[in-house]
Amino acid sequence: MFKKGFLWLGILLSFTCLGQSENRCPIIPRPAHLETREGRFVLSNTTIVRIPAANPELRTLAENFIRQVNTASGLTLGIQSANESGAAESVLTFRSVGDTGLGAEGYRMDVTTRTITIEAAQPAGFFYAIQSLYQLLPPEIFSSTRVSTAVNWSVPACRIEDQPRYSYRGLHLDVARHFFPVSFIKKYIDLLALHKFNTFHWHLTDDQGWRIEIKKYPKLTQVGSQRQETLIGHYYESDPQQFDGKPYGGFYTQEEVREVVRYAQSRYVTVIPEIEMPGHALAALAAYPEYGCSDGPYETATKWGIFTDVFCPYEKTFTFLQDILSEVMDLFPGPYIHIGGDECPKVAWKRSPYCQQLIKKLKLKNENQLQSYFTARIDKFITSKGRKMIGWDEIMDGNAPPIQVSPSATVMSWRGVEGGIRAARLGHDVIMTPENFVYLDHYQGDRAQEPLAFGRLTPLEETYSYNPTPAELPDRVQKHMMGIQANVWTEYLKTPGQVEYMVWPRAAAVAEIAWTPATQKSWPDFTQRLPDLFRRLDYLQTTYSRAYYAVRI
Ligand code: TNX
């Protein structure tokens, strides 16, 4: 009797486990609330996608979903508007509701064996529901051609209520050190949207290249987008310096920029352009030397690092930069304009009689304050156009009387977390992007095994462990923490494949920090969903790193 009891318990347990392993929901980022149920919803040729009448935005979302499903599976899912009649056995319903209680990006999804019902208040919510639905389907769903093997095109029955932890969820890409074509930028945006990021930070200018066409100043791209050759190998270690000896260049036309912005918009991604000032400006100075403190000549940098030639705060420089920003604001409709502000050496300003006089005239204490003055003027200009300025945390370095950086400036905290916390205490909105956790140009595994990368080791688990708003931060600080962003600097990343290798899977860890409530975040659970991510990336023809399986530190 006792033995029989054990036998039944064993059978029952193995069934439950089987059920669980069949009905896994390997969504990244993990939803805020997820309940699995028994059974599966099977897609078939009789499945109908039912959408609200007269809602073109939802119709487009549904049609895109159907196109992808039909392409990969060879099925012929149909679409039906809510006002059309007709019964269907298996239905995926999009229901637009006034208020889900889950915010503008939230959604509810109910999957039974016969129906899938998605409810959201805004199109972005439907978009995120669809990204979850893709990830509940087999990874073959991401194939760009019809899959020839037998696949069970089904979704585990479950109930999801989802909404993001942070309103700002960003991924950055430096296209100045190395240039990447529009086709790759679009693929990058696709992947970030799939993981529910809503911001793409496009680092468009730096010492080594100016990558955006500005009509009023054509030399910025004619001269500044080109360099003579590129340093290969580490620049800060003792290796003998080597150059590849090849001219290098590239830039985006304004038409291409508009195309990227539109493409991102249709995936609910805002693009933030970054125009670096006053430092990281050599490529611009190579084109227009009159805006530097000496007469030049300057050359677009061929090495990596920080350069002492920066914009000089002449009146004519402000005019030049404001003209540039005006064109930039025409191209990028989003609320934010990023003006860099990082790593601006003060050597040239110290030597310049003009700067020294200006410091006296404005009663400033030092050159750091001169940078704050510079930033404050640019901020005023951007704000006057109805936009918001973002800068790296150095924009706060000279923030002391008589200079007050306007509290409307948003700060990206990259040199650790303290700068961000300090700025938030002063009432600035802050985006956390600390280099020790979310710099994806750092090594992710054993240096001996990994391709050349920047600085320290930041393995997947360390990235995953980051919490931008730990409970001990006071509420008045927390409320200014808008979210998180991972940065991808490309000194050592020449090809799309090399970029992807550094980004995935660490960006997936960042996505989970950005979206999933702290209580639902779980490293062991995340690692169980990794193989699913890798299979999806395989079908998406995206390179990724398996360093996690090798690193044990
Ligand atoms: C610092 S992060 C920089 C970049 C470099 C990066 C390398 C930041 C705002 N500035 O210019 O590419 O380090 O990790």
At 463-485, the pLDDT tens digits run 999 999 999 999 999 999 999 99
No. of helices (H) and no. of strands (E), the chain: 19, 23
The ligand 1 atom nearest the CA atom of 340: 9
List helix spans (H) across 426-478: 435-438, 460-464, 475-478
Q: How confident is the model at residue 553 (pLDDT cuts 50, 70, 90)?
A: very low
- Residue nearest atom 7 of ligand 1, based on CA coordinates: 489
Tell me which of 105-119, 146-160, 235-249 is least confident: 235-249
Q: What is the structure's pLDDT at 16?
A: 42
- Domain range 12-162, CATH class: alpha beta
Q: Is 454 in the pocket of ligand 1 (CB under 6 A)?
A: yes
Q: What percent of the chain has pLDDT over 90?
A: 88
**Per-residue pLDDT tens over the stretch 58-75:** 999 999 999 999 999 999
What's the first-to-final CA gap in the chain, in angstroms? 49
List helix spans (H) across 385-522: 418-425, 435-438, 460-464, 475-478, 496-503, 506-515
Q: How confident is the model at residue 209 (pLDDT cuts 50, 70, 90)?
A: very high
Q: What is the structure's pLDDT at 18?
A: 42
Among the listed residues 483, 376, 358, 369, the one whose alpha carbon sits nearest the alpha carbon of residue 420: 483
CATH 3.30.379.10 domain position(s) in the chain: 12-162
The residue annotated as part of the active site, out of 57, 256, 299, 343, is 343
- For a ligand 1 pocket test, name from 442, 485, 489 the mutation site with the most ligand atoms within 8 angstroms of its C-beta: 489
Q: How confident is the model at residue 237 (pLDDT cuts 50, 70, 90)?
A: low
Burial class (CB in 10 A: 0-12, 13-18, 19+), 511: buried
Q: Is 492 in the pocket of ligand 1 (CB under 6 A)?
A: no
- Residue nearest atom 10 of ligand 1, based on CA coordinates: 342
Q: Is 65 in the pocket of ligand 1 (CB under 6 A)?
A: no
- Residue nearest atom 9 of ligand 1, based on CA coordinates: 342
Tell me which of 15-29, 262-276, 349-363, 455-469 is least confident: 15-29
In the reported structure, the alpha carbon of residue 350 is separated from the centroid of ligand 1 by a whole-number distance in angstroms of 23
The ligand 1 atom nearest the CA atom of 412: 9
Identify the helix (H) or strand (E) that includes residue 358: helix 353-361
> Before 123, cis peptide (omega within 30)?
no
Tell whether the model's pLDDT for residue 9 goes beyond 60.
Answer: no
Tell whether the model's pLDDT for residue 373 goes beyond 70.
Answer: yes
Tell whether the model's pLDDT for residue 354 goes beyond 90.
Answer: yes
- Residue nearest atom 12 of ligand 1, based on CA coordinates: 489
Q: Is 441 in the pocket of ligand 1 (CB under 6 A)?
A: yes
Q: Is 117 left (phi over 0), alpha (psi -120 to 50) or beta?
A: beta
Beta-bridge mates of residue 46: none
Q: Is 489 in the pocket of ligand 1 (CB under 6 A)?
A: yes
CATH 3.20.20.80 domain position(s) in the chain: 168-550
**Per-residue pLDDT tens over the stretch 134-162:** 999 999 999 999 999 999 999 999 999 99
Mean pLDDT along residues 122-137: 98
Q: Is 307 in the pocket of ligand 1 (CB under 6 A)?
A: no
Nearest 5 degrees, angle CA 328-CA 331-CA 336? 65
Instruction: Determine the Cα–Cα distance for residues 222 and 211; give it in Å rounded to an integer.
Output: 10
Mean pLDDT along residues 402-408: 90
The ligand 1 atom nearest the CA atom of 415: 2
- Residue nearest atom 2 of ligand 1, based on CA coordinates: 414
Mean pLDDT along residues 406-428: 96
Q: How confident is the model at residue 20 (pLDDT cuts 50, 70, 90)?
A: very low
Q: How confident is the model at residue 509 (pLDDT cuts 50, 70, 90)?
A: very high
Beta-bridge mates of residue 117: 93, 110
Tell whether the model's pLDDT for residue 2 goes beyond 50.
Answer: no
Q: Is 213 a catalytic residue?
A: no
List helix spans (H) across 172-293: 182-194, 219-222, 254-265, 282-287
Tell me which of 3-7, 43-47, 349-353 is least confident: 3-7
Tell me which of 211-215, 242-246, 255-259 is least confident: 242-246
In the reported structure, the alpha carbon of residue 468 is separated from the centroid of ligand 1 by a whole-number distance in angstroms of 20
Q: How confident is the model at residue 552 (pLDDT cuts 50, 70, 90)?
A: low
Q: What is the structure's pLDDT at 241?
A: 83
Which of the following CATH numbers is that of domain 168-550: 3.30.450.20, 3.30.70.260, 3.20.20.80, 3.40.50.2020? 3.20.20.80
* The two structure tokens encoding residue 219: 């030399």
Tell me which of 47-61, 83-97, 190-204, 326-340 is least confident: 83-97
What is the ipTM for the molecules in this complex?
0.97
Q: How confident is the model at residue 172 (pLDDT cuts 50, 70, 90)?
A: very high
In the reported structure, the alpha carbon of residue 446 is separated from the centroid of ligand 1 by a whole-number distance in angstroms of 22
- Residue nearest atom 8 of ligand 1, based on CA coordinates: 342
Mean pLDDT (the chain, rounded): 94
The ligand 1 atom nearest the CA atom of 394: 9
- For a ligand 1 pocket test, name from 280, 343, 437 the mutation site with the most ligand atoms within 8 angstroms of its C-beta: 343
Among the listed residues 86, 4, 96, the one whose alpha carbon sits nearest the alpha carbon of residue 46: 86
Q: How confident is the model at residue 11 (pLDDT cuts 50, 70, 90)?
A: very low
